[in-house]
Amino acid sequence: MHGAPGSTATQTEMTDDTAEQARLQAERFQRVRAAHQTEVAEDYVELIADLIAETGEARVVDLAGRLGVSNATVNNTIQRLQRDGLVVSKPYRSIFLTDEGQELAEASRERHETVRDFLIALGVAPETAEADSEGIEHHVSEETLSAFRRFLDTTQR
């Protein structure tokens, strides 16, 4: 039907539709890239908070051991987290969270627990739910988390 009378409107609509689909897809990919950028910071502050709660301190060697990375990798990340205002640290000393870092750690922990509990409520084995929630927690939207919470609220009464 190319070149047929009236086909211009249809082609324009198709072009507009294609452009809108491309825009939406770009937004989704952008959201995933943003989540990847914050994922490391969230994992680190959450683990630092856990270590402080468990042992009273968070050390580079402990973070490296728990994350399965080298001390040098941890040191580089800690430097970035310091620049971002999430942690304070001095050479050969423990690492501490700033107020902003503590808030991020608490939010990350809450997201993690919500996703984990949701998966368990669906029948996923606790060990699997714990492992899976570690990745999902960074990519789940606030809307989806709210739906998870509502589901958990109705099923856990």
> Could you list the mean pLDDT of each consecutive 10-residue stretch along the chain, which spans 157 residues?
54 76 74 70 94 94 95 94 93 91 95 96 96 90 94 87
Place of tokens 């897809």: 25
What pLDDT shows up at residue 18? Answer: 85
96 C-beta neighbours (distance < 10 Å), count: 15
Q: What is the pLDDT at residue 34?
A: 62
Does some domain include residue 2?
no
Q: Please check whether residue 40 lies inside any domain of the structure.
A: yes
Residue 111 lies in a domain: yes
- Report the pLDDT value the prediction gives residue 117, as an integer from 0 to 100: 97
3, part of any domain: no
What's the pLDDT score for residue 143?
A: 95
Say how far residue 99 (Cα) sits from the centre of its chain: 19
Domain region containing 133:
8-155
The predicted structure's pLDDT at residue 142: 92
User: Does the pTM exceed 0.75?
Assistant: no
Residue 75 lies in a domain: yes
Q: For residue 38, what pLDDT is reported?
A: 82
The pLDDT assigned to 58 comes to: 95
Burial class (CB in 10 A: 0-12, 13-18, 19+), 129: buried
Number of domains composing the chain: 1
Instruction: Give the pLDDT score at 33.
Output: 63
Q: In CATH, what number is assigned to the domain containing residue 43?
A: 1.10.10.10
Does 1 map to a domain?
no
Assess if residue 98 is contained within a domain: yes
Task: Name the percent of the chain lying above pLDDT 70.
Answer: 87
Whether residue 23 lies inside any domain: the answer is yes
